[in-house]
Amino acid sequence: MNKSVSNKYEETTVSSQSIFQGRMISLQVDTVKLPNGETATREIVRHPGAVAVLALTEDRMLVVEQYRKPLEKSQVEIPAGKLEPGEDPMEAAKRELEEETGYRTDSLKHLCSFYTSPGFADEILHLYVAEQLEKGEVHLDEDEFLDCESITLEQAQQYIREQRISDAKTITAVYAWQVYKLTGSF
């Protein structure tokens, strides 16, 4: 791709102020020079990246229900978690799947990777599919509490209508699964 075309409205950094360094995210405010020569500020959240798995067993998907403090409610989501420093995304996906559901797999297929909110965050989420699963043991992080269940596509679509499922990665996974059932390929 031609950089001069694809980045033609590039915003160059004039200065960058670090606001916060946390356990999961950091925040900075950049002053940028716009294509018209004016300046503007950009509020930017830095995130280490995340992984998630559409894990299918006997025509059901594995989901976990957990409390999401930013939303002040519980949500049903596919197994997911953030990358550890230097961790390979596919290894992270296997690790999170096993930690949260007890299921192990050696055959993960990369489905897609997407930025969750490119207007203010650099978080990228790598989404995988696993179809050959082996039951093992659940072992959660010490501050992690969740329940695992397996649901059909129809149940997943019902959960979306009820807003029990309402996050980007799980809705994307449910669409991918539906397309797979309709076309035979992801």
State the Cα–Cα distance between residues 14 and 40, nearest whole angstrom.
10
- Residue 153 near a second copy by CB under 8 A: no
142 is catalytic: yes
- Residue 166 near a second copy by CB under 8 A: yes
Any idea which residue has 């993960």 for tokens?
108
- Residue 73 near a second copy by CB under 8 A: yes
Candidate list 58, 137, 142, 154, residue with the active-site label: 142
Burial of 186 per CB tally in 10 Å (0-12, 13-18, 19+): middle
Site residue total, a second copy (CB under 8 A): 75
Show the tokens assigned to 30: 């950049």
Using DSSP bridges, classify how beta strands 60-68 and 146-151 pair: parallel, antiparallel or unpaired.
antiparallel
Q: Which is nearer to a second copy, 134 or 138 (CB)?
A: 138
Contact 60, 137 (CB under 8 A): no
- Residue 87 near a second copy by CB under 8 A: no
Distant-in-sequence, close-in-space partners of 169: CB < 8 Å, separation ≥ 6: 50, 52, 77, 78, 80, 116, 125, 127
Q: Which is nearer to a second copy, 19 or 138 (CB)?
A: 19
CB of 169 to a second copy, least distance (A): 8
- Interface of this chain with a second copy, residues 97 to 116, rule: CB under 8 A: 112-116
Task: Identify which range of 31-39, 54-62, 83-91, 97-105 contacts a second copy by CB under 8 A.
Answer: 31-39
Which of 117, 132, 152, 158 is in the footprint of a second copy by CB under 8 A? 117
